[in-house]
Amino acid sequence: MMIRLGIIGEEHAVKIIEEVLLDYHDFVDKVFLDPCENSSLEIIAAHQEKVDAWLVFDQINHRKITQWGKALRPVYYIPYRGASFFKVLCELLYKGYRIEDLSIDTIPYNDIVRGLKEMHIAYDTINYIADKPLCELDDYILEHQTLFASRNTKAAVTSSYYIKQQLENSGIPAFCVLPLRVSIRNILNMILSEESIKRAVNSQIAVQVFDFDIYGKQYEYCSVDDLYVREINITKKLIGYAKRIKGSLKPTGQGRFFVFSTKGMLADCTDNFSVVPRIKELQALEEELSACGIGLGNSANEAEFNAVVALRQARESGSGHWFAILEDKKSRGPLGIANFAEIGFYDEDLVAISKKTALSIATLSKIKTILKERGNNKLSAQELAVALAILPRSARRILQQLTEGGAAQESGMEAPGFKGRPKKVFEILL
């Protein structure tokens, strides 16, 4: 396993990481120097696809990247904990400085206090510069300079080599805390572990089942040859699609096709199972597609079963819809539709109501989503018909089945309008 690791930071700190990386054979490092820590967002935006993970220094830069929220790969940082600070502190105490003489930034305050207590070092005050949201390195420099100018401090301790240089240029003695090699190894081992798990999960088998109307929506009669030609044309396009996602195709007849691939490939092309992929082979088949189901599972058999269940749910939802059932038995769909929702397809409560009312879990799940969006659990047959895009008589039948199954009850009448008589309002108990 090779991990492309993008390292962003100052040159002196990057060199320490590169020395530690010599002991590892699973990383290919790509170094991006950012001495002022003000170009990290631009670096990440420009090189998103070239790395598997990012590594930055200290929590300041990491927090800025996290708040930005556009990194497509996981971002890790090397913490400057108390152990890093006390190595520098011993040097400063040896040179005659007291704790009160120092202004300190970025090291966690509790780590400093705990360490001083363990070392039995007495102090009156700690000139600590606390982290602030969206705080830039120049802001820390100004804080150090202010404390020094007011004669509250005689030297500065920082984790940024850039801050150290700027302070020394302004005549302030400054000392830089460097990351400990043990901290670097801990983070590298964490990256190795998490990447191994992620790759194992992404290699998990995924099954996709397509259902096509090979008889044609506009044809009254189809010869055997016509059906055969249509099935061949669909097969050719799906083979192209299967190659794109590094999968294999297995037709089962009557317009049904199975594609076997991996979770990682399908997650990428569906934006983590939220949209229908815009792939030319699939776009050419949109008119013939009845439904598509995606299934994940802990075995090939389970993934195939979930794909068929997802297909059934997609068919109930509407023509051309896609649904996916994940390993945790959560159903997602319709993919790429405005009312996309994550549904507990194996929700025990919905299963019980389905048995009592003879309504499908897909229908019950849709109603549950509609109620959640409305913010209340009361609606009329007309409102339900509009929300589900069905005829009013079908909505009345659904409400009647819910009522008979104990999942709904009449709660009153609509306020009188200008036309027609007031309609019954039902309270849905899902």
Q: Do the Cβ atoms of 343 and 333 come closer than 8 Å?
A: yes
Residues 357, 256 within the same domain: no
Residues 300, 172 within the same domain: no
Q: What is the pLDDT of residue 106?
A: 79
Q: What is the pLDDT of residue 235?
A: 94
C-alpha 162/C-alpha 166 separation (Å) is 6
We report the CATH number of the domain holding residue 402 as 1.10.10.10
Q: What is the pLDDT of residue 272?
A: 85
C-alpha 27/C-alpha 195 separation (Å) is 11
Residues 153, 92 within the same domain: yes
C-alpha 314/C-alpha 309 separation (Å) is 9
Residues 220, 286 within the same domain: yes
Q: Which domain holds residue 39?
A: 3-79+182-199
Residues 318, 357 within the same domain: no
Three state DSSP letters for the chain: CCEEEEEEECHHHHHHHHHHHCCCCCEEEEEEECCCCCCHHHHHHHCHHHCCEEEEEHHHHHHHHHHHCCCCCCEEEECCCHHHHHHHHHHHHHCCCCHHHEEEECCCHHHHHHHHHHCCCCCCCCEEECCCCCCCHHHHHHHHHHHHHCCCCCEEEECCHHHHHHHHHCCCCEEECCCCHHHHHHHHHHHHHHHHHHHHHHCCEEEEEEEECCCCCCCCCCCHHHHHHHHHHHHHHHHHHHHHCCCEEEEEECCEEEEEEEHHHHHHHCCCCCCCCCCHHHHCCCCCEEEEEEEECCCHHHHHHHHHHHHHHHHHHCCCEEEEECCCCEEEECCCCCCCEEEECCCHHHHHHHHHHCCCHHHHHHHHHHHHHHCCCEEEHHHHHHHHCCCHHHHHHHHHHHHHCCCEEEEEECCCCCCCCCCEEEEECC
Q: Which of 319, 345, 371 is the last residue of a domain?
A: 345
Q: What is the pTM of this model?
A: 0.60
Q: Do the Cβ atoms of 342 and 326 come closer than 8 Å?
A: no
Cβ atoms within 10 A of the Cβ of 225, count?
8
Q: What is the pLDDT of residue 294?
A: 97
Q: Which of 345, 376, 391 is the last residue of a domain?
A: 345
Q: How many domains does the chain have?
A: 4
Which residues does the chain have with pLDDT short of 50?
A: 338, 345-346, 418
Q: Do the Cβ atoms of 302 and 315 come closer than 8 Å?
A: no
Provide φ and ψ at 321, rounded to 5°: -80, 155
We report the CATH number of the domain holding residue 163 as 3.40.50.10660
Residues 341, 351 within the same domain: no
Residues 288, 368 within the same domain: no
Residues 241, 157 within the same domain: no
Q: Do the Cβ atoms of 235 and 177 come closer than 8 Å?
A: no
> Over the stretch 370-394, which tens digit does the pLDDT of each residue have?
888 788 888 888 888 888 777 888 8
Q: What is the pLDDT of residue 178?
A: 82
Residues 392, 427 within the same domain: yes
Q: What is the pLDDT of residue 338?
A: 46
Residues 111, 152 within the same domain: yes
At position 366, the amino acid (one-letter code) is K
Residues 75, 207 within the same domain: no
Query: How many CA atoms are closer than 13 Å to the CA of 162, on its beta-carbon side?
Result: 16
We report the CATH number of the domain holding residue 228 as 3.30.70.270
Q: What is the pLDDT of residue 8?
A: 92
Residues 341, 378 within the same domain: no
Strand partners, 76: 55
Q: What is the pLDDT of residue 420?
A: 58
